[in-house]
Homo-oligomer: A and B are copies of this chain.
C-alpha cells in the first residue's frame, strides 16, 4: 500500500516508559518531514510488544490518499492482531490499526474525489495508528462538517458493521427483536442507535452490570453477562428473538442459537472471548478459536434458522466490496446529518497510551469507542493504571466488576 515496510529497518524505536512525555517531545521537536511517529507491534504477544517508533513517512501510490491522522479507532480486533490470533496474520513488526480520521495532505496520481485539506475518515488495511497513513481512495469518505475527528474515528467500523449486519445480512424490520452482546461497546451502541431508526424494535443488551446505568437508555432490556440471560430473555419473549449479534464466539453460540425465533438470524461478527478468555497461552487461544462448535445444516432446516458470519475487514480488503460499503456509508452519513445516530466515544488516548487503552478494552471497561488521539500528550501514568505487572491476555481473568481501580471514566458521552 505505502512504502513503509521497506523502511522498517531504518526506524528508531522508543520504549513507552515512565518518561513517555519527554520522549514524545523529542519526536515532535524533530520536525523532520521524512519521518513520523507510529505505534509498532514488534511481535505477537502481550502489551510489551507495543512501542511508539519513528518510521519513514509514507507517500501515496496511484489511487491513494495521504492523510495527516488526527484520530484512530481501537477495536477488539486490534487485541487479536496483537496476540496473533487472527487468520493469516501479517508478519510483525507491523503498525496496527484499521481506521482513522484526519486531513488529506496529498493525493497520488489518478486519485480523484479528494483534495488537499479535505476532512476525511478512512479504512486502512493495517498502519492506521500513525501520524500519517496512505490508503486507496475506495476506503476514504468525507466527514460531515459537524463531526469531530474523534467521532469520525469512532464512526466508520462500528456503524458500517452494525448497519450491514442489521440491514444487509439480517433484514431488520418493524416489530423485530435484537439481542446484542457487549452492548456497551462501540458496535453495541451503534446497533442500539440503528435499531431506534426502525419502529417498534426491541433491543436486548448483554453487558457487565457496572455499565448498566450508563447505557440503560439505549436498550429496551439489559442483562448482566454473568447471569443466565437466555432464561431472562425467554421470560420477556418466550418465542425468542429475531436477530442475535454475537461477538463472543465459543460456547455461547449454541446457547444463542436456542434463543432464535423461526426465520431468525444469528450473526457471528467477532471473537472477543478469544482475547479475554480464561486461558493463558497463545495456543489455548488459537485452540478455542478453532474449536467453535460446528452447525448442522439439517438442524437449521428443521428449525428454520439462519446463521451468518460477518467480517467487515474481509469484506473490504479481501472481498472487494468497497462500493457496497460506500453506499452504506452514504446512508449512515444521512442518518448522522438527521441526528438519528451519533458515535459514542469512551475515551481518548495518546499513541503512547495504547497499552492502557488496550487494557481497558480487555477489561471490558469501555462504554463506546476508544480513540487514539494522535495530537494528545500522554497523561502521567498513575500507579493504578500500570499494566507492567498484569498484561492483557496473559493474566488470569479477574471477575468482572471487581476491577474498579483500573477504570477510567469516559471522556465523552
A residues neighboring B (CB under 8 Å): 87, 164, 168-169, 171, 249, 253, 262-263, 265, 268-269, 271, 289-290, 292-311, 314-315, 319, 321, 324
Q: How far is the CA of A299 from the CA of B308 in the complex (A)?
A: 10
Q: Which 8 A-B pairs have the closest CB atoms?
A: A300-B309, A301-B309, A294-B294, A262-B319, A306-B308, A171-B171, A295-B295, A268-B297
Inter-subunit contact B315/A268 (CB<8 Å): no
Taken together as a complex, chains A and B put the C-alpha atoms of A262 and B164 apart, in Å, by 12
Q: A313 to nearest B CB, angstroms?
A: 10
Assess the A304–B310 pair: CB atoms within 8 A: yes
* Interchain CB contact under 8 A, A296 and B292: yes
Assess whether A295 is in contact with B307, with CB atoms less than 8 Å apart.
yes
> Does A300 lie within 8 Å of B294, measured CB to CB?
no
Contacts of A311 in B (CB 8 A): 301-302, 304
B297 and A309 contacting across the interface, CB-CB below 8 Å: yes
Bound-state Cα–Cα, A308 to B308, Å: 8
Pick the residue among B295, B296, B303, B319 that contacts A314 (CB under 8 A). Answer: B303
B315 A304 Cβ-Cβ under 8 A: yes
Please, how many angstroms separate the alpha-carbon atoms of A306 and B306 in the complex? 7
CB contact under 8 A between A306 and B304, given known A168-B263, A321-B262: no
**Closest beta carbon of chain B to A189's beta carbon, Å:** 22
Please judge, given known A-B contacts A171-B171, A263-B315, whether A300 and B304 are in contact too, CB under 8 Å. no
Which residues in B have their C-beta under 8 angstroms from that of A292? 296-298
B-side contacts of A171, CB under 8 Å: 168, 171
Q: How far is the CB of A389 from chain B (nearest CB, A)?
A: 33
Contact partner of A309 (CB less than 8 A), chosen from B164, B169, B302, is: B302
Chain B proximity of A19: nearest CB distance (Å): 42
Chain B residues contacting A262 (CB-CB under 8 Å) are 314-315, 319, 321
Q: Shortest distance in angstroms between A138's beta carbon and chain B's nearest beta carbon?
A: 15
A164 contacts across to B, CB distance below 8 A: 263
The distance in angstroms between the C-alpha atoms of A265 and B265, with both chains bound, is 11
List of B residues within 8 angstroms of A265 by Cβ: 306
- Which chain B residue lies CB-closest to A263? B168
A308 → chain B closest CB, angstroms: 4
Q: Is the CB of B310 within 8 A of A307?
A: no
Nearest CB on B from A30, distance (A): 41
A169–B304 CA distance with the chains assembled, in angstroms = 9
A-B contact pairs, 11 of them (CB 8 A): A262-B315, A262-B319, A263-B324, A268-B298, A292-B297, A297-B309, A298-B309, A300-B308, A304-B319, A305-B308, A305-B309
Closest B residue, CB atoms, query A300: B309
CB distance from A319 to the nearest CB of B (A): 4
A257 to B324, CA, bound (A): 21
- Measured between C-beta atoms, what is the minimum distance from A87 to chain B in Å? 6
| CB atoms of B319 and A309 under 8 A apart | no
A269 to B253, CA, bound (A): 23
Q: Are B269 and A301 interface neighbours, CB within 8 A? A: yes
Q: Are A296 and B294 in contact (CB under 8 A)?
A: yes
User: Once the chains are docked, how many angstroms separate the CA of A142 from the CA of B263?
Assistant: 26
CA distance A308 to B271 in the complex (A): 21
Report whether A297 and B297 are in contact in the complex, using a CB–CB cutoff of 8 Å. Answer: no
Instruction: Known A294-B294, A294-B295; judge A306-B307 contact (CB<8 A).
Output: yes
User: Is there an interface contact between A297 and B298, defined as CB atoms closer than 8 Å?
Assistant: no
What's the minimum C-beta distance from A352 to chain B, rounded to whole angstroms? Answer: 33
Tell me how far the C-beta of A10 lies from the nearest C-beta in chain B, rounded to whole angstroms.
Answer: 35
Q: A164-B263, A262-B319 are in contact. List 4 more A-B contacts (CB 8 A).
A: A298-B309, A304-B309, A304-B311, A306-B307
- Contacting residues, chain B, for A87 (C-beta < 8 A): 302
Chain B, Cβ-Cβ closest to A246: B297
Q: A171-B171, A253-B297, A315-B262 are in contact. Are A307 and B304 (CB under 8 A)?
A: no
CA distance in complex: A292, B298 (Å): 7
